[in-house]
Amino acid sequence: MSLYVLADLHLCKGDPEKTMSIFPGWQDYQEKIEKNWLEIVRDEDTVVLPGDISWGMSLAEAAPDFRFIELLPGKKIIIKGNHDYWWTTMKKMEDFLASEGCGTISILHNNHYRYENYGICGTRGWVNMPGETQDEKVLKREVQRLETSIKSALAENLEPIVFLHYPPIFATNFNYDILEVLYRYKIKDCYYGHIHGRSAHDLCVKNTYDDVNFHLIAGDYLQFVPEKVL
Note the pLDDT tens digit of each residue in 151-165: 999 999 999 999 999
* Whole-number Å distance between alpha carbons of 188 and 11: 30
Range of the domain at 53: 3-228
Confidence of residue 96 (pLDDT cuts 50, 70, 90): very high
Position 90 scores a pLDDT of 96
pLDDT of the residue at 54: 98
d(CA 125, CA 139): 7
Tens digits of residue pLDDT in 110-154: 999 999 999 999 999 998 666 666 688 899 999 999 999 999 999
Burial of 161 by CB count in 10 Å (0-12 exposed, 13-18 middle, 19+ buried)?
buried
Count of domains for the chain: 1
Position 127 scores a pLDDT of 82
User: Average pLDDT of the chain?
Assistant: 96
Q: CATH number, domain at 101?
A: 3.60.21.10
